[in-house]
Structure 1
Amino acid sequence: MLSRIPAFARCLSLAALCAAGPVSALEFPLPPPGEDIIGQVQTVTARYEDTFADLATRYDLGYLEMIAANPGVDAWLPGAGTQIVLPTRFILPPGPREGIVINLAEYRLYYYPKGRNVVYTFPLGIGREGWGSPVSTTKVTAKTPNPTWTPPASVKAEHAADGDILPNVVPAGPDNPLGPFKFGLGLPGYLIHGSNKKFGIGMRTSHGCFRMYNNNVLEMADMVPVGTTVRIMSEPYKFGVSGGKVYLEAHTPLDESGKPSVVDKHTAVINALLKREDLANSLRINWDEVRDVVAAEDGMPVEIAVPTTPAPVVGGAPMTLQ
């Protein structure tokens, strides 16, 4: 079985990273045509007081990303000296590399600024169970600093049932759940916005909107113009090429309501591969490795195949996914 962490993963001292100051957006040069992977996995040595929530905030990662990449590690008390994996290597989502692309299954947003050969990526909080975020294509229709919040009737009723009476309008400020900035979208009722609760970024916590760390949404505010395309997908299985090798990145599938989905993973993986017409008919796939990657659902790209020429040869055992 191939290693989950690439050989070139950087082992970094957490103290050294912290000395560099707060981490801003994850920014990467776009890979050349035919390549799909950005970043590299890192590891840090935890201090006694560190938690996954703290580390996720510090390194622009989501809470569930940290959980998936570090199975068996206590999220609230990893322990001094524990090696913590930072899953900062990504396969770019399928489709055009332009505008904003949101992949619900990985709780992550990608932004491709026009005219620049870079990509930014940010963790997101998405719609919780029963309030799933939509799969759609839309645009940024408005940008609003210091927004007020007018709770919709459904949200007011939900809070009232728990004895929490919401005001008709919540003014801008530290108690505003929209944070310091919001992007209006062409989907009525849905926004990209900051948050007054940093815990929950990278989880299913919202009523369908897309929550960001406040420093991230303010960075986006300076970069993203009104009219920017926003493509929202839910792709738990992403295939990508790097250095002539083919990789698979697997996340827990979500159903339309935002719940973990019980799906035929065999069919889902094959369908994701078939969307990559440049790969589907020219690979020698290690199906045993594919099965392991899908079972792990750790969100990190793992080598699973090499291209073949001229004729495809499928090796390994038939794929049977549990």
Structure 2
Amino acid sequence: MTHFTASLYRWITLIPFAALALYASEASANTYPLPAPDSRLVGETLYHTVADDGGSLEAIAKRYNVGFLALLQANPGVDPYVPRAGSVLTIPRQMLLPDAPREGIIINLAELRLYYYAPGENSVTVYPVGIGQLGGDTLTPTMVTRISQKRENPTWTPTAAIRARYLAQGVELPPVVPAGPENPMGHHAIRLAAYGGVYLLHGTNADFGIGMRVSSGCIRLRDDDIKHLFSTVPVGTKVTIINEPVKASIEPDGRRWIEVHQPLSKRIDDDPKTQPIVLNDKLKAFEAAAQTHNEFVNKALTLRAGVPVEVSSPPENGAIDKT
């Protein structure tokens, strides 16, 4: 074992969930048919009964190809290390599409998901992602950019700031990490044009951390997911990164839905479970409408479960209002 391998191993063991057993089976990318242009609700909620040897929450998240925090938020109170055998977990595989043009890649940092609208396909593929850690030089910024480059078996050249941060944790990084099993970027990297090309979508050589704030600013995907995305997304594709913890939709049948995620912490002492959520004007109008059940909205804003919840008021005289 090289010095770098040993050091990286020691660093990994400091991270919760790193040594937890994973299911042998892995879910493929989650692809959904696109709904009508005036609809944003896709997928369906699944349920999983924990077996006696059901493993960790990370293992279950990987099995269904959802993010760790998404699964944890959808199941408050569950033990992330050893979920109780026989308990039924909500698998958050239903969602509202982001309120943005259905074009290229859209990454919503608050929900830790990447949406890819392949050109000419009437579908959307959704991947859980890891994003930048809390910190001045590790945050993943919002941006509108394009893919400038794709590389298989990339090398990793950590910045001086990254090397200093690892060194403080007892890991001495080399100036360049070659392609291979020791490379934390995995086997595929997709470079974004903005900010001089310092941000990438890339894989990982570790199975933990997807659906969490773990990276140095890049967007991290499970290795099978980045391989799938790499094979389908062309250079030049538009990439939009947003930060919207609340999504809402009025569906064609008049029903109103809201999906609330925990907002990203801005400071180390922020509690995303109670941190204030500021609604934009469009969401305020949605909340204030007579057709919206305000109590249901307030409950969703409090629970922040990250799954779509219907918040329609009972229609008077059986009428359906689509405004």
Common fold, TM-score beyond 0.5?
yes
Regions of 4+ moved over 6 Å: 307-312
Counterpart check, 1:96 vs 2:96: no
Counterpart check, 1:168 vs 2:172: no
Equivalent of 1:147 in 147, 150, 154: 154
Counterpart check, 1:47 vs 2:56: no
User: 1:174-232, CA deviations, whole angstroms, 9 ceiling, x for partnerless residues?
Assistant: 11010110000012311100011221110110111000000000000111000000000
1:48 deviation in Å?
2.4
Name the % identity: 38
Unaligned runs of 5+ in 2: 1-22
Query: Match for 1:37: what amino acid?
Result: L
Equivalent of 1:70 in 50, 53, 75: 75
User: 1:32-77, CA deviations, whole angstroms, 9 ceiling, x for partnerless residues?
Assistant: 1211010011101111232110011111111101110111111111
Residue in 1 aligned with 2:131?
126
1:157 deviation in Å?
1.3
Residue in 2 aligned with 1:294?
301
Query: Match for 1:190: what amino acid?
Result: Y
Unaligned runs of 5+ in 1: 1-17, 313-322
Counterpart check, 1:57 vs 2:62: yes
1:79 deviation in Å?
2.5
Equivalent of 1:204 in 196, 213, 221: 213
1:264 deviation in Å?
4.3
Tell me how far apart the structure 1 counterparts of residues 88 and 50 of structure 2 sit (CA, whole Å). Answer: 6
Equivalent of 1:234 in 217, 239, 243: 243
**Is the 8 Å Cα contact of residues 135 and 232 (structure 1) preserved in structure 2?**
yes
Equivalent of 2:36 in 10, 27, 32: 32
Cα 1:163–1:33 change in 2 (3 A) is closer
Residue in 2 aligned with 1:158?
165
Counterpart check, 1:218 vs 2:227: yes
**Is the 8 Å Cα contact of residues 282 and 311 (structure 1) preserved in structure 2?**
no
TM-score (norm 1): 0.83
Tell me how far apart the structure 1 counterparts of residues 235 and 88 of structure 2 sit (CA, whole Å). Answer: 42
Counterpart check, 1:105 vs 2:113: no
In structure 1, the residue corresponding to 2:311 is in which secondary structure? Answer: strand
Cα 1:272–1:133 change in 2 (3 A) is farther
Aligned length: 289
Residue in 2 aligned with 1:137?
144
In structure 2, the residue corresponding to 1:205 is in which secondary structure? Answer: strand
Residue in 1 aligned with 2:262?
252
Tell me how far apart the structure 1 counterparts of residues 254 and 292 of structure 2 sit (CA, whole Å). Answer: 13
In structure 1, the residue corresponding to 2:291 is in which secondary structure? Answer: strand
TM-score (norm 2): 0.83
